[in-house]
Amino acid sequence: MEKIDCRSLLETELSELCAEKGLSKFRGRQIFQWVEQKGIRDWREMSNISQADREKISQFLSLRPADLIREQKSKDGTRKYLFGLADGERIETVLMGYEKDRSRDRQTICISTQVGCPVGCLFCATGMEGFKRNLTVGEITGQVLDVLRILRQENPGSKITNIVFMGMGEPLFNYKAVLKAISILNSKNGQNIGMRRMTVSTSGVVPKIIQLAQDNPQVGLAVSLHSSRDEVRDKLVPINKKYPLASLMAACRTYSQITKRRVTFEFALNNTNTNKSEAQGLVNLLKGMMAHVNLIPVNPVQGSGVHRPTREEMLMFKKILEEAEIAVSFREEKGLDIDAACGQLRQRLECERA
């Protein structure tokens, strides 16, 4: 009999399963707490469950935490983890260090949702590698649990307060699993991370943006825009050919109407999109919308064909947005010294292995 991955189950599912297997229903909650709150890596850690029950549990549930392959620490506090999954695939998870002007209690984790990515954005190391497979629910929640476990070895009081689905992969192409992972991470007896502290980032899967607003209006949305012109965006973010800017912006407006929340637009400044007509185009797209723009200098990725603009060009771009009263922040990227851009660490290790 195939065992079920315990990290992929809701508390209610665990309780029902325990009842089905002749265990007390209460065991479901206990297991959920051990797995999703404390992040155990071995059934023997469940000290309030008898050995006989632990044995029974291990016959129908599997607990297969990821292996830590490498941890990198940046000077700015960012940490990057490369994890090995049960089938040998590798994924990256990034932990953002404390932000200078925010409360020191904030700890944001950036998690992956797929191995590789089918979208193939021009500047993205993950996209360059093509698509392997979707992550399971347990592999998504597991990144939070396994990183927390590492942090707690250093500081037992460690907590993760915010989650961004901005690691490897297109979260809205793994929609069901991402939604269930969000639900598990939000659970009171799990990590109890508020829905409003989770943000899903997408390259622009239009129908799923609208579905997300309907299914979970609490969770935040970031859209990787990167250009205000279809002919440029077609090249940078090829999914634009399927869902061009007009349909994407309409979906974002619908999202805001349903959720009453503003959308964050990511804009990776590079030599193809940092000019006056792009900035003016962006102003036109966002006028009257509940929006926030995040400008990020593109992270140099080997073989990408795009590079950074000058600082003057980037500041000129920002000024045009500010003058049009669009909320904008300029994010000097984190962890440059540890290849923290999406997919870069994995790419380098693949090269080392080859």
Which residues of the shown chain bind ligand SAH in the complex (CB under 6 A)? Answer: 117, 121, 123-124, 166, 170, 201-203, 224, 266, 268, 296, 298-299, 301, 341-342
Map tokens 């090995």 to a residue. Answer: 84
CA atoms within 13 A on the CB side of 351: 10
Specify the 3-state DSSP secondary structure of 350. Answer: helix
Binding of ligand SF4 at residue 304 (CB under 6 A)? Answer: no
Q: How many CB atoms lie within 10 A of CB 305?
A: 11
CB of 300 to ligand SAH, least distance (A): 7
Binding of ligand SF4 at residue 122 (CB under 6 A)? Answer: no
Token duo for residue 277: 């007509």
DSSP 8-state class, residue 98: -
- Candidate ranges 75-83, 92-100, 115-123, 325-333; the one touching ligand SF4 (CB under 6 A): 115-123
Tell how far CA 122 is from the center of its chain. 19
CB of 120 to ligand SF4, least distance (A): 6
| Annotated catalytic residue within 117, 121, 124, 342 | 342
CB of 146 to ligand SAH, least distance (A): 19
Q: Which does 166 bind (CB under 5 to 8 A by kind): ligand SAH, ligand SF4, none?
A: ligand SAH
DSSP lists the bridge partners of residue 220 as 199
Token duo for residue 33: 């707490």
- 264, 223 contact by CB (below 8 A): yes
CB of 18 to ligand SF4, least distance (A): 37
Provide the pairing of β-strand 4-5 with 114-116. unpaired
Binding of ligand SF4 at residue 281 (CB under 6 A)? Answer: no
| Annotated catalytic residue within 11, 92, 170, 266 | 92
CB of 196 to ligand SAH, least distance (A): 19
**Alpha helices of the chain — where are they, by DSSP H?**
11-20, 26-32, 51-60, 125-128, 137-154, 175-186, 206-215, 230-236, 245-259, 276-286, 311-323, 344-353
CB of 110 to ligand SAH, least distance (A): 8
Q: Which does 120 bind (CB under 5 to 8 A by kind): ligand SAH, ligand SF4, none?
A: ligand SF4
Residue 154 catalytic? no
CA angle 309, 167, 83 (to 5 degrees): 125
Tell how far CA 160 is from the center of its chain. 13
Specify the 3-state DSSP secondary structure of 329. Answer: strand
Which of 46, 117, 135, 181 lies at the binding interface for ligand SF4 (CB under 6 A)? 117
**CB closer to ligand SAH, 9 vs 206:** 206
Q: Which residues contact 53 (CB under 8 A, 6 or more apart)?
A: 23, 27
Amino acid identity, position 51: Q
- Candidate ranges 118-126, 175-183, 276-284, 307-315; the one touching ligand SF4 (CB under 6 A): 118-126
Binding of ligand SF4 at residue 342 (CB under 6 A)? Answer: yes
Residue 117 catalytic? no
Query: By rule CB under 6 A, what string of x and - marks binding of each residue 152-191 to ligand SF4?
Result: ----------------xxx---------------------
* Active-site amino acid positions: 92, 342
Footprint of ligand SF4 (CB under 6 A): 117, 119-121, 124, 126-127, 168-170, 203, 224, 342
